[in-house]
Amino acid sequence: MDVHIEFSGGRGHRDEIYRQLRAAILDGRIREGESLPPTRELARRLAISRTTVSAAYDRLTAEGFLAAKVGSGTFVRVGAGRHLTPPPGEPVASLRGTAVWDDVPRAPRGFAPSPEFDFRAGVPDVSRFPFAAWRRLVAAQVRISNADLMTYADPGGHPALREAIARHVGVSRDVRAAPADVLVTSGAQQALDLVARVLLKPGDVAAVEDPGYPPPRLLLHTLGVRTAAVPVDSEGLVVDALPDDCRVVYVTPSHQYPLGVSMSLARRLELLAWAERHDAAIVEDDYDTEFRYTGRPLEPLYSLDTGRRVLYVGSFSKVLSPALRLGFLVAPPSLRDVLTKAKYLTDWHSAAPAQAVLAEFIDEGGFAAHIRRMRREYQTRHDLVAAILKRDFAGMLDVIPSSVGLHLSAFGHGDSAAVRRAARQAGVTLYSLGDFAVEKRTTAGFVFGYGAIAADRIEAGLCRLREVMADKGGD
Ligand SMILES: Cc1ncc(COP(=O)(O)O)c(C=O)c1O
């Protein structure tokens, strides 16, 4: 391994090597079992004597950080990273993030391990990911050694993917966009980040739904934006409750997260008129409507908009996999350049090889076929959850009608957070509506995600939940 040692001039070379290697082992930059460069090689690179390097290695060996294996070099000892106490006189790191970060809950560590009955919302069935097709496309890409994909690329996105996305949203969502209007992002979350960076400054007001998807609200908060939590009713966001000074409205009109309602046409038109009157922008998050089970979708705000105030956000997280970190933003032409600049300064561009594979997957028809297959599967699960909730939870839960996406919600009574905790103990993981409530207007009830639970596990899982609720005296 190629270790980097910096001589600041303050300490002797031996001490510097000792201190920097030790710190790298303790904070995991050099992992247990990894080999260090031979003393002769490191001495040559640093232009110092080999004895100095050996002395530093000897001290680390004596302290149990390194072990020498005859004939194969010096290794970081297994267990070395567990020496967690700083050496005497070495200050404990005292740097902290700014105060806004104290308001943000700990970042999730991923979704594993899965509970016995997993009703968490927002996760697709990744066991059905089209692995074979993906493998073939990745292999083909590597085989032709396409060096163009391995250098810095257009921040706006891989051209073939922008084209494929423009076609996909045109056909499936009636969002008419040219490839140049499409900006490829690292998921919907980055799309929102870019929008906030270019349209908002600290102190500005942005509206979010209440209850709503927490990451956008938290992100806005960390950027110094004041968020107004606006209630949602059976027709979607209550436009009358929007504050006059709001600059950006973040909404999930096709499938409100978490309630699941679809914003009525009247409300959509009201919101657009409101944005026009207040010179505000609307971010339309259309994260999972590829999966629609009955009825025709209402036109997206983006397509109804005549004032070019709507930014349409899509994601491949639900329809394929959240691990790809691929999403997109379709923005009015007036924002195209500034959003591309923001994307460039944020992370230059999303991973080009993955974008190219996705473009091919869409072009060859694999994506549409995957959606059709998964739609059938999720419809079975959706219908099962809806039927069992109606049959077995009557009087306890009122299902909120919804025929789209990967979750269904239901209003309840009583302390849903306590039920959620007890259910978890009993092997059933699900969110309560209170998990998404900002001002705690809507707290009783649950969100039933069916992306991560197989159809043949649903009945047993809901039966277990019912027992928990009965124990708690109803929800
Ligand atoms: C409302 C909403 N928007 C967007 C996303 C997807 O975000 P991303 O594309 O960043 O994975 C989710 C995922 O749970 C979501 O619930």
pLDDT digits (tens, 9 = 90+) for 28-38: 888 888 899 99
Q: Whole-angstrom Cα distance, residue 225 to residue 248?
A: 10
Please tell me whether residues 347 and 373 are part of one structural domain.
no
Split at pLDDT 50, 70, 90, the class of 70 is confident
Q: Whole-angstrom Cα distance, residue 326 to residue 314?
A: 9
pLDDT digits (tens, 9 = 90+) for 126-177: 999 999 999 999 999 988 888 889 999 999 999 999 999 999 999 989 999 9
Q: How far is the CA of 277 from the centre of ligand 1 (A)?
A: 29
Please tell me whether residues 147 and 76 are part of one structural domain.
no
Average pLDDT over residues 231-246: 97
Atom of ligand 1 nearest to the CA of 213: 1
Please tell me whether residues 219 and 348 are part of one structural domain.
yes
More confidently predicted of 307 and 291: 291
Q: Is the pLDDT of residue 235 over 60?
A: yes
Residue 467 lies in a domain: yes
Domain boundary, last residue among 304, 331, 364? 364
Please tell me whether residues 288 and 354 are part of one structural domain.
yes
Q: How far is the CA of 459 from the centre of ligand 1 (A)?
A: 27
Give nearest CA residue, ligand 1 atom 2.
Answer: 287
Atom of ligand 1 nearest to the CA of 121: 14
Residue 133 lies in a domain: yes
Give nearest CA residue, ligand 1 atom 13.
Answer: 122
**Could you report how far apart the first and last alpha carbons of the chain are, in Å?**
57
pLDDT for 79 equals 79
Domain boundary, last residue among 349, 364, 379? 364
pLDDT for 326 equals 98
Residues 6+ apart with CB under 8 A from 20: 3, 5, 6
Largest CA distance in the chain: 81
Q: How far is the CA of 50 from the centre of ligand 1 (A)?
A: 54
Q: Whole-angstrom Cα distance, residue 287 to residue 294?
A: 18
Residues with CB under 6 A from ligand 1: 122, 187-189, 213, 252, 257, 285, 287, 315, 317, 322, 327
pLDDT for 90 equals 59
Residue 174 lies in a domain: yes
- The CATH number covering residue 29 comes to 1.10.10.10
Q: Whole-angstrom Cα distance, residue 208 to residue 216?
A: 8
The total domain count for the chain is: 3
Please tell me whether residues 344 and 357 are part of one structural domain.
yes
Please tell me whether residues 192 and 335 are part of one structural domain.
yes
Q: How far is the CA of 189 from the centre of ligand 1 (A)?
A: 7
Q: How far is the CA of 80 from the centre of ligand 1 (A)?
A: 39
Q: How far is the CA of 122 from the centre of ligand 1 (A)?
A: 7
Q: How far is the CA of 376 from the centre of ligand 1 (A)?
A: 22
Please tell me whether residues 173 and 142 are part of one structural domain.
yes
- Cβ atoms within 10 A of the Cβ of 431, count? 21
The residue segments making up the domain with residue 454 are 117-125+369-471
- HEC sequence for the chain: CCCCCCCCCCCCHHHHHHHHHHHHHHCCCCCCCCEECCHHHHHHHHCCCHHHHHHHHHHHHHCCCEEEECCCEEEECCCHHHCCCCCCCCCCCCCCCCHHHHHCCCCCCCCCCCCCEECCCCCCCHHHCCHHHHHHHHHHHHHCCCHHHHCCCCCCCCHHHHHHHHHHHHHHHCCCCCHHHEEEECHHHHHHHHHHHHHCCCCCEEEEEECCCHHHHHHHHHCCCEEEEEEEECCEECHHHCCCCEEEEEECCCCCCCCCCCCCHHHHHHHHHHHHHHCCEEEEECCCCCCECCCCCCCCHHHHCCCCCEEEEEECCCCCCHHHCCEEEECCHHHHHHHHHHHHHHHCCCCHHHHHHHHHHHHCCHHHHHHHHHHHHHHHHHHHHHHHHHHHCCCCCEECCCCECCEEEEECCCCHHHHHHHHHHCCEECEEHHHHCCCCCCCCEEEEECCCCCHHHHHHHHHHHHHHHHHCCCC
Average pLDDT over residues 44-57: 93
Please tell me whether residues 203 and 343 are part of one structural domain.
yes
Residue 19 lies in a domain: yes
Q: Is the pLDDT of residue 238 over 90?
A: yes
Type of residue found at 258 = P
Residue 111 lies in a domain: no
Atom of ligand 1 nearest to the CA of 189: 10
Please tell me whether residues 312 and 215 are part of one structural domain.
yes
pLDDT digits (tens, 9 = 90+) for 73-113: 899 988 776 655 555 565 666 899 999 999 999 988 877 67
Side-chain half-sphere of 465: how many Cα atoms within 13 Å?
A: 32
Give nearest CA residue, ligand 1 atom 6.
Answer: 188
- The CATH number covering residue 273 comes to 3.40.640.10
Residue 40 lies in a domain: yes
Q: Whole-angstrom Cα distance, residue 55 to residue 314?
A: 57
Split at pLDDT 50, 70, 90, the class of 473 is low
Which of 111, 283, 317 for a ligand 1 pocket mutation test, highest count of atoms within 8 Å of Cβ?
317
Domain boundary, last residue among 24, 58, 82? 82
Q: Please compute Rg for the chain using Cα positions.
A: 27
Residue 100 lies in a domain: no
Please state, for a pLDDT cut of 90, what percent of the chain lies above it: 80
Residue 110 lies in a domain: no
Please tell me whether residues 230 and 331 are part of one structural domain.
yes
Split at pLDDT 50, 70, 90, the class of 424 is very high
- The CATH number covering residue 431 comes to 3.90.1150.10
Atom of ligand 1 nearest to the CA of 322: 11
Q: How far is the CA of 287 from the centre of ligand 1 (A)?
A: 6
Please tell me whether residues 421 and 346 are part of one structural domain.
no
Please tell me whether residues 319 and 344 are part of one structural domain.
yes
